[in-house]
Amino acid sequence: MKRPASIDRGVQRVLHALGGAARARAVLVLGAVLGLDGADKGTVSAMAGPIEAAFRVGNTEIGLLASVVSLVSAVFTVPVGVLTDRVTRTRLLALSTSLWVAATALSAVSPSYTWLLVSRAALGAVTATAGPTVASLVGDFFPVGERARMYGPVLAGELVGTGVGFAVSGTVGSALGWRFAFWWLVVPGVLLVWAVVRLPEPARGGQGRLRSGQDDVSEVRGSGAEDVRTPAAEHNPAVRAVEAGGVPPHENLILHGDPRALPLGRAVRYVLRVRTNVVLIVASALGYFFFAGLRSFATLFTTHHYGVSTAVASTLILVVGVGAVAGVLLGGRVADRLLGRNRANARVLVPTVCLLALPLLVAPAVHTTNLALALPLLVCGTALLGAANPPLDAARLDIMHPFLWGRAEGVRTMLRTLGEAAAPTLFGWVSGQVLGGPEALQYTLLLFLLPLVAAGALGLVAMRTYPRDVATANASAEAVTANTS
């Protein structure tokens, strides 16, 4: 049966926007990895009420279900980062996704709250793989000048997955029970394992980049190669903008030997000596702290504060999520466009503006009980939150040697997920034990807008440090290339 012409035109537009079929496939698979994790977390939030009723627990226990995933994930991310820098990343990702499917099935058959909590802990060990491996693969699949733009649709996968978790799991759970809200996730999980297995491994250091317009992802240049050299002369607008400004590198941070040979302790110390990296890690952790708490209690807050049913709340959350998806798709494009105009700190400037403006929209939306007023404010607010992430993720790759991407992202993910781990439980504890009352969640959300303000303030610091750290990463790439040729 022939597809309608409108669908074909839509597919062609998507392929054109992503740079061809090969890039689209890589983006969709990597985005789906993050999306499956988001769908799982959205499911826990959507099913918070039924789970509370089934096991006779409260907000603190529901928050703990989300926190334990992040906490265990934080423990495993640094070891996974080491593996990411040394083994075939696509195989590591396929194995992790397979174990994710098994852990989700265990959640669905939980006979008690303790069983559910333990299965969620096992899931956290698996989700640790996503951050370092996806970041490293994005860096090697796509050119530097397009990195923030291509990061957008990959990160959109997590938001789409979270929305699907709220909407589909909320509908399935309402009709068939909370266990089926987990069971249905097993099916896309199995399909994703198949897709990841078929994704080729690009060469490290950017030598396996997918060309714009390339149709076959299996033709990725240098697939499976392990060339220790990094092409320092690669067209890099971030480096070009920094060099145009005459920004010097930090001489004491220039690497001269193969970074993969560094012991874990030395690698971690080096990663934490890069000032912009530390600032961005803390800013990212604060942003994800708020998002994790909001995601965990979004359904409960919407039903109680705006007086709607669980099904309607899930739909509204999906609508708000559209704003976040739009944000991640636009934020990277704006940053890369500014970077192309020699604005050296563009990938830090865009998220800083977004984070500083965000509380100005979210605070009145949370305060009012008028849903017609709150909805557009929340859509715009989540758009700003989404827009901050692609440039930040691209900026972290810009300031680190490619052979350290896995460990650097492992450190970042560990610290970020510690914030995520604390957020749901802390939100639940503050709302239930400290504030109390019918509007406790409202005041809790308003209180925890303060970390977003702090994240924006840190962005102002990163705007000053980022150019010199980019120059240092480029000098390291040149030195390593010269010493390993």
Question: How open is the CA angle 175-180-183, to the nearest 5 degrees?
Answer: 150
Beta-carbon count within 10 A of 125 CB = 18
pLDDT recorded at residue 191: 92
In CATH, what number does 19-205+229-484 get? 1.20.1250.20
For 229-284, the pLDDT digits (tens) are 444 434 677 777 777 778 888 899 888 888 888 888 898 899 999 999 999 888 88
Do residues 49 and 314 make contact, with C-beta atoms less than 8 angstroms apart?
A: no
Do residues 47 and 310 make contact, with C-beta atoms less than 8 angstroms apart?
A: no
Task: Write the CB contacts of 42 (distance below 8 Å, at least 6 apart in sequence).
Answer: 161, 162, 163, 164, 165, 166, 169, 295
pLDDT recorded at residue 226: 44
pLDDT recorded at residue 177: 84
User: What does the domain layout of the chain look like in residue ranges?
Assistant: 19-205+229-484
Q: CA–CA separation, 31 vs 15, rounded Å?
A: 15
For residue 182, pLDDT beyond 60: yes
Q: CA–CA separation, 328 vs 389, rounded Å?
A: 7
| Proportion of the chain above pLDDT 90, given as a percent | 11
For residue 440, pLDDT beyond 90: no
**What's the average model confidence in pLDDT over 437-450?**
81
pLDDT recorded at residue 232: 40
440: left (phi over 0), alpha (psi -120 to 50) or beta: alpha
Phi, psi of 235 (to 5 degrees): -60, 115
For 155-178, the pLDDT digits (tens) are 888 878 877 777 788 788 888 888
| Proportion of the chain above pLDDT 70, given as a percent | 87
Q: 89 or 205, which is more confident?
A: 89
pLDDT recorded at residue 38: 80
For 207-234, the pLDDT digits (tens) are 446 555 555 555 565 544 444 444 443 4
**What's the average model confidence in pLDDT over 2-9?**
58
**What's the average model confidence in pLDDT over 353-361?**
91
Nearest Cα to 217, choosing from 195, 193, 189, 234?
195
Q: 330 or 208, which is more confident?
A: 330
pLDDT recorded at residue 275: 92
**What's the average model confidence in pLDDT over 290-298?**
77
Q: CA–CA separation, 334 vs 332, rounded Å?
A: 5
Task: Share the mean pLDDT of the chain.
Answer: 81
| pLDDT classification of 100: cutoffs 50, 70, 90 | confident
**Which residue do the tokens 């798709």 mark?**
329
Question: How open is the CA angle 455-458-463, to the nearest 5 degrees?
Answer: 125
Calculate the CA dihedral of residues 174, 62, 38, 122 and round it to 10 degrees.
-110
For 386-414, the pLDDT digits (tens) are 898 889 888 888 898 888 888 888 888 88
| pLDDT classification of 5: cutoffs 50, 70, 90 | low
For 118-159, the pLDDT digits (tens) are 888 888 777 788 888 888 888 888 877 788 888 888 888 887
pLDDT recorded at residue 6: 57
Provide the sign of the torsion angle of the four alpha carbons 240, 271, 282, 429, taken in this order: positive
User: 238: number of CA atoms within 13 Å, CB side?
Assistant: 31
For residue 353, pLDDT beyond 80: yes
Cα 182 from chain centre: 22
| DSSP character at residue 402 | G
DSSP string, 213-239: T---GGG-TTTT-------TTS--HHH
Cα 103 from chain centre: 21
